[in-house]
Structure 1
């Protein structure tokens, strides 16, 4: 367990970002509108957070609640947002789209990632709603920049998804299984020992960094507790 685990924290604004960095976060996931489970933040919010902290930022590319990319016009708008964020200096992203049948929406993913010029990106929890996780991983395996899957192992969260997470980390290195597992979605401190023992080294928290709930900012002390548990 000498490999340092990555702790990623959801940030909505500068106050969140500064607190998360102070608590020991390694990376931030920047989103807006958690009522819709996290949408693309404004270019201005990204710029303000980039100026306020020194740790890496992954920026959400998502226009609406759910895992559909929407219409062709919606995809074009998202690609334009990605371009604007790149122009502002964003270097890492988070995205993921499914077709109605639960297969990966490759056309939408490719249209958006074409704007990222090889930047690193996370395929987010859409994988937990996929009809076939293995098929999704193999379909996405050769896309440039994909280095992480944010997943709970199950749509309902980590508690239910633990067996899937443990089986997938055991397959790392197989085709489709080269990307890092970033575990998030109902993740609790008590899950960490079994996940770390299995070799998982990426963890993602949102609500757990906000003891007061989403109406309150990130707590540096809460992030520090997670960082200590991972060290």
Structure 2
């Protein structure tokens, strides 16, 4: 039996979440403050969205723009509070000043997640060495996805990297799903599907009026059809 591709949509509130689910999203990434590329939402926002929809929710653990971990004690507290409120999936990723994975920070946060599933986000696209980062994270509990455009400049530039990494599926560090996002367009989807990439992440593409407007169920439906190869 074939498993359909995962379509993940960024949601800022319950209105977004309801529209995304209605359009056929499999999962939501919950963030606040897209001006900073997505930060940890308040627990009350998570709780409101959790009450509004029944699809999977991945909650961002990130306190400031950029990819430094920052105040780890605050991050740990945020993770604990979200877990206590019922969050079971997360998004995180930290680099040091040299572009290497901040393994101490990642391990400390993952230690608070009690085995919960999590995505290493687009910090991988800013890494000095993507392959080294993947191998350093290999085997960490719960890591099942990399959110990546293949390049810090977006999918147009990163497509060759994405296709090369998809071809390495099964190698150490390459077991997690590739969730492609960051300048992703509908015309990218056929080549990604042909490479057996089965994860797609959209933010602005689900919002005809930009970030000042809500998610459109109709826009999500169009993406649902595309990632299903229709």
TM-score, length of structure 2 as denominator length: 0.98
Kept in 1: contact 2:200–2:227 (CA 8 A): no
Q: Does 2:126 align with 1:132?
A: no
Residue aligning to 1:180: 177
* 3-state DSSP of counterpart to 1:214: helix
**C-alpha deviation, 1:3, in angstroms:** 3.3
Residue aligning to 1:227: 224
**C-alpha deviation, 1:169, in angstroms:** 0.4
Task: String of CA shifts for 1:14-60, please: whole Å, max 9, x gaps.
Answer: 00000000000000000000000000000000000000000000000
Q: Gapped runs of 5+ residues in structure 2? A: none
Which of 158, 162, 170 is the equivalent residue of 2:155?
A: 158
* Aligned positions, number: 228
CA distance in 2, matches of 1:114, 1:63: 18
CA distance in 2, matches of 1:123, 1:34: 18
Residue aligning to 1:190: 187
**C-alpha deviation, 1:2, in angstroms:** 4.1
CA distance in 2, matches of 1:121, 1:68: 18
CA distance in 1, matches of 2:190, 2:22: 24
Task: String of CA shifts for 1:85-109, please: whole Å, max 9, x gaps.
Answer: 0000000000000000000000110
Q: Does 2:169 align with 1:169?
A: no
Residue aligning to 2:72: 75
Runs of 4+ in 1 over 4 A off after TM superposition: none
Residue aligning to 2:103: 106
* 3-state DSSP of counterpart to 1:58: strand
Residue aligning to 2:48: 48
* 3-state DSSP of counterpart to 2:210: coil
Kept in 1: contact 2:75–2:109 (CA 8 A): yes
Residue aligning to 2:32: 32
Residue aligning to 2:139: 142
Kept in 1: contact 2:165–2:174 (CA 8 A): yes
CA distance in 1, matches of 2:182, 2:46: 23
TM-score, length of structure 1 as denominator length: 0.98
Q: Gapped runs of 5+ residues in structure 1? A: none
CA distance in 2, matches of 1:230, 1:66: 30
